[in-house]
Amino acid sequence: MPELPEVETVRRGLEAAFVGNVIAKVDQRRPDLRFPFPDHFVSRLEGRKTVALHRRAKYLVAELDDGTALIMHLGMSGRFTVYAPQGHVLRPGVFAHQVATSGLDIGAHDHVIFDFEDGLRVVFSDHRRFGLMTLHPFKDLNGHKLFASIGVEPLSEVLTSSYLDQKLSGKRTPIKSALLDQKIVAGIGNIYACEALFYAGISPRRSSHTVPGKRSMRLVQSIQSVLSRAIEAGGSSLRDYAQADGELGYFQTQFAVYDREGEACQTASCDGTIQRLVQSNRSTFFCSNCQR
């Protein structure tokens, strides 16, 4: 499933296409994705202008001019692609495939098609249908069940060592599991939890209650550094993920531990190898020499 850097990369790729643009037509080609579409989904979107495109955890949120929030999640295999007619003059920042003016062939897994007033088309494809789209008042976004219990954004100023100390104090679960708990920190998935723990020098098996203090200071710094670098790299091109312009991210070429079982640790002073263990049915990769 795409993690925070992948979703943020998609948000940036879609922002120029969505924001300030009017949705002229919506083609909803099935009644549901992971959940049914809300009633009157199409009519509530057509004619609306996008004021801003936000990201909350792993969700995209289009803020519309009537106060509605279009909430979107990529699921396991969801992908947005931007198209423009051949010869169409693109607005600054828009990256789109040029297609023949006669139209674009719609595939079996293209489930929602947004046609904008300026001629752009955005297609949401999802062959596994684990994604979702729904509508909710933007001012009450945190009251929606999807967001009600989500923790702080990891790249915000709210994520501090003091905050993490408070959340981890007395917690006996492994620190890797705590990082995947969306009620503590939003959007950190399996890949970046492994990477952040490596750079912080913390074993994924370490009990969470022993992390507060100097370890949590290192962990906050490594979380923010790893996520920031991954966003700049365009995310990781694993499985179905691609950016809105069709390009693949390349942060996977920079992995220190993830998916490197049996390979040599990249730390210059370490002669160990990367190991793998299973925690909560997820693969964890780490170096037992460097992470304590």
Give residue 234's pLDDT: 74
pLDDT band at 218 (very low <50, low <70, confident <90, very high): very high
CATH superfamily for 4-143 is MutM-like, N-terminal (3.20.190.10)
Structural domain spans, the chain: 4-143, 161-286
Higher pLDDT, 95 or 237: 95
Q: Does 244 score more than 80 pLDDT?
A: no
> Cα separation of 19 and 71, whole Å?
15
- What six digits make up the tokens of 132? 């979702």
Rounded Cα distance, 76 and 2, in Å: 7
Q: What is the pLDDT of residue 251?
A: 44
The catalytic residue positions are 2-3, 58, 282
* Residue showing tokens 């049996």: 262
The tens digit of pLDDT for each residue in 182-211 reads 999 999 999 999 999 999 999 999 999 999
Tokens of 173: 């679960």
State the pLDDT at residue 18. 95
Instruction: Identify the three-state secondary structure at position 69.
Output: strand
The residues, ordered by sequence, that sit 6+ positions from 9 with a Cβ below 8 Å of its Cβ are 231, 234, 235, 243, 249
Give the residue from 8, 240, 22 showing the smallest Cα distance to 131. 240
**Which position has the higher pLDDT, 92 or 131?**
131
| Cα–Cα nearest to 219, from 189, 193, 183 | 193
Tell me whether residue 96 is exposed, middle or buried, using C-beta atoms within 10 angstroms of its C-beta: 0 to 12, 13 to 18, 19 or more. Answer: buried
DSSP type of residue 38: P
Cα–Cα distance for residue pair 209/206, rounded to 1 Å: 9
Structure confidence at residue 240 (pLDDT):
43
Burial class (CB in 10 A: 0-12, 13-18, 19+), 220: buried
> Which of the 8 DSSP states describes residue 289?
T
- pLDDT greater than 70 at residue 54: yes
| C-alpha span between 44 and 154 (Å, rounded) | 32
pLDDT at 46 over 70: yes
Residue range 161-286 in CATH 1.10.8.50: yes
Q: How confident is the model at residue 250 (pLDDT cuts 50, 70, 90)?
A: very low
Name the residue with higher pLDDT: 6 or 267: 267
pLDDT at 6 over 80: yes
Q: Above 70 in pLDDT, residue 253?
A: no
Whether 23 shows a pLDDT value over 80: the answer reads yes
- Quote the pLDDT of residue 105: 82
Average pLDDT, the chain: 91
With CA atoms as reference, report the closest residue to 186 among 11, 80, 59, 52: 59
Residue 74 backbone phi and psi in degrees, to 5: -75, -20
The length of the chain in residues reads: 292
Q: What is the pLDDT of residue 13?
A: 86
pLDDT digits (tens, 9 = 90+) for 64-87: 999 999 999 999 889 898 998 888
Q: Mean per-residue pLDDT for 104-121? A: 92
* Partners of residue 203 on adjacent β-strands: none
User: What's the pLDDT score for residue 239?
Assistant: 43
The pLDDT value recorded for residue 103 is 63
Q: Report the alpha-carbon distance of residue 120 to residue 94 in Å, rounded.
A: 9
Question: pLDDT digit string (tens) for 147-180?
Answer: 999 999 999 999 999 999 999 999 999 999 999 9
Cβ atoms of residues 159 and 223 within 8 Å = yes
Q: Which amino acid is at 68?
A: T
Q: In terms of pLDDT, which residue wins out, 55 or 102?
A: 55
Parallel, antiparallel, or unpaired: how do β-strands 275-279 and 282-286 relate? antiparallel
